[in-house]
Amino acid sequence: MVAREKLEGQPGPPNRVPVPKSVTNLPHQVREELTRRLRRNRRAFREEDVQVVEPPLLKRAVGASALGNCMEWFDFGVYSYLAATLGKVFFPGASPAAQVISSFATFAAAFVVRPLGGLVFGPLGDRIGRQKVLATTMIMMAAGTFVIGLIPDYGTIGIAAPILLLLARMVQGFSTGGEYGGATTFVAEYSPDRRRGFLSSWLDFGTFTGYALGSALVTLLNLLLTDAEMLSWGWRIPFLIAGPLGVIGLYMRLKLEESPAFQQQLDEHEKSLAQESAGSELRTIVKDHWRPLLVCMGLVLLYNVTNYMVTGFLPTYQTETLNRSSSSADVLVLIGMVWIVLLITFLGRLSDRVGRRPLYGVAAAAMIVLAVPSFLLIKADGTWPPIFGVLILSTLLACFAAPSAATLPALFPTAVRYAAMGIGFNFAVAAFGGTTPLVTEALVSLTGDDLMPAYYLMVAGAIGLVTVRFLPESAQVPLNGSQPMVGSPEEQRELISTSTDLYRVERHHTGVR
């Protein structure tokens, strides 16, 4: 027997009634959302109210998005693995510390234009479709990366070399401004509600696979080539690979169909919102969605400070601060990337079962406790302590990455989802994520304390823990502005039957006959 739930302001009947298991088995947040929709419709769901995603389309959407993301983040990630080498190629007159800082400053410059990319591509994605914008960002990233491999070094063209590098990085950053928000929106809108965490986690599986492939290639080059060969021409190889990868990624994204939510699932309220926001979308988002925007930025800060600490800063930290060889540093980070790839989809599935908030909250608290011990292990001599240190940070990073592609799009309604993601995600990454290698390297140089990266992570963990307090639970909940999504006709019939039971219970509790 389950206690009655009364509609606000209305008395329930004096007697209790059995509540069907189909209703009691619903997660609390799902029951609340379904109840809200049933009250609005004043009836149970029918077939036309529940969207069935065809398995072949779902697999193609998730697979192509993940593979395209893998290619794009291979391009973007290679730069961080070659930061120390690029500092010598493009800033040869500076001191070793200044070379690294200059290289990271160029790395961070791409993040300065990311919000601009989000402001341009986000509204476009809400108006002309997600698929078209994602194809555009794919080719722009590949072109920007390919051009870096062609830039003459400082000894050949002088100051023009770092300027051209900066421009190419800005093209990369501009395109990336529309990439993650669009890809997460696209996959989330294709995924059945019950499996959104698992299916969306494949997007970040692609991200870290791309990072791992970039790390593996740079590690291989460092093992096969001498330092002189790497400085002369070896560093160009990973960037030049971006050309053919970009063509493959573009082909895959052009073959995708637009997401069901964008094609068909806007209700009348969302349609009017889309029309209203076409000319002033930024103002509409900031005015009407500032709370979820702040939550989005807090979670992105937590995820990306950890992300760029591990992928962008850690390789150079080991070579320049701990004086380890580049090959050993690259192998250590590669181990961490492979570990994340192995964990991330399992954690995505876990977030569907236990919820997004518990996964974020436990990992953020663990970051506060484990950041310093992790860096002490990384600093330690021997083989296994540094590996354990990197694995701890990588596990925490996987806990932040796995639920993000499902959690962040669920904060916003369909009509403004791409643009809101573009704004919230890219402003947070620009301000905190992409600057992490630069800021931490500068802090280490300024203070002489090589544990400054750990303290930086602790602050990010504290901010993340506060953010989780205001995060609404979205596991298994239909996206705002979209119909409930299921993966088969059987699930559709089950949900319709459950809605009938739930509607009957609600009518009884409100005294309606």
Q: Is the pLDDT of residue 52 over 60?
A: yes
Specify the pLDDT at position 275: 47
Specify the pLDDT at position 510: 67
Specify the pLDDT at position 79: 77
Structure tokens at 432: 């905190």
Min mean pLDDT across 61-75, 456-470, 488-502 is at 61-75
Q: Mind listing the pLDDT tens digit for each residue in 367-394?
A: 999 999 999 999 998 899 999 999 999 9
68 vs 144, higher pLDDT: 144
Q: Do residues 172 and 110 lie in contact, with contact meaning Cβ atoms separated by under 8 Å?
A: yes
- Closest of 283, 253, 112 to residue 182, by C-alpha: 253
Specify the pLDDT at position 191: 92
Min mean pLDDT across 324-333, 356-365, 451-460 is at 324-333
Structure tokens at 324: 């380890």
Residue type at 253? R
Specify the pLDDT at position 472: 95
Min mean pLDDT across 50-59, 83-92, 262-271, 501-510 is at 262-271
- Using pLDDT thresholds of 50, 70 and 90, give the confidence band for residue 15: low
Tell me what percent of the residues of the chain surpass a pLDDT of 90. Answer: 38
Q: Mind listing the pLDDT tens digit for each residue in 101-137?
A: 787 778 777 778 888 888 888 777 777 777 778 888 8
Q: Which helix (H) or strand (E) holds 331?
A: helix 326-354
Q: Classify the phi-psi angles of 42: left when phi > 0, otherwise alpha if psi is within -120 to 50, otherwise beta.
A: left
Q: Mind listing the pLDDT tens digit for each residue in 247-287?
A: 887 777 777 766 666 665 444 444 444 444 445 667 778 88
Mean pLDDT score, 54-60: 84
Specify the pLDDT at position 128: 73
144 vs 71, higher pLDDT: 144
Please state, in angstroms and rounded to a whole number, the distance separating the CA atoms of residues 510 and 64. Answer: 47
For 451-456, the CB contacts below 8 A with 24+ separation are 451/372, 451/375, 451/376, 453/309, 453/313, 453/317, 453/375, 454/371, 454/372, 454/374, 454/375, 455/371, 455/372, 456/305, 456/309
Task: Name the H helices within 25-54.
Answer: 28-41
Q: Is the pLDDT of residue 46 over 80?
A: yes
Query: Could you say which DSSP state residue 177 is in?
Result: T
Residue type at 112? V
259 vs 467, higher pLDDT: 467
419 vs 398, higher pLDDT: 398
16 vs 110, higher pLDDT: 110
Q: Please give the C-alpha separations between residue 487 and each of 50, 55, 131, in angstroms, as whole numbers.
A: 10, 7, 21
Mean pLDDT score, 321-342: 88
- Using pLDDT thresholds of 50, 70 and 90, give the confidence band for residue 466: very high
Specify the pLDDT at position 454: 96
Mean pLDDT score, 57-83: 78
- The three-point CA angle 94-97-102 to 5° equals 65
205 vs 132, higher pLDDT: 205
Mean pLDDT score, 5-16: 46
Structure tokens at 412: 């916003």
Min mean pLDDT across 2-16, 313-327, 441-455 is at 2-16
Specify the pLDDT at position 120: 85
User: How many other C-beta atoms can be found within 10 angstroms of the C-beta atom of residue 320?
Assistant: 22
Mean pLDDT score, 430-447: 86
Q: Is the pLDDT of residue 4 over 70?
A: no
Specify the pLDDT at position 495: 95
Please state, in angstroms and rounded to a whole number, the distance separating the CA atoms of residues 463 and 450. Answer: 22
Specify the pLDDT at position 511: 58
Q: Report the predicted TM-score, pTM, of the whole model to 2 decimal places.
A: 0.83
Q: Mind listing the pLDDT tens digit for each residue in 180-202?
A: 778 888 888 889 999 999 999 99
| Start-to-end C-alpha separation, the chain | 21
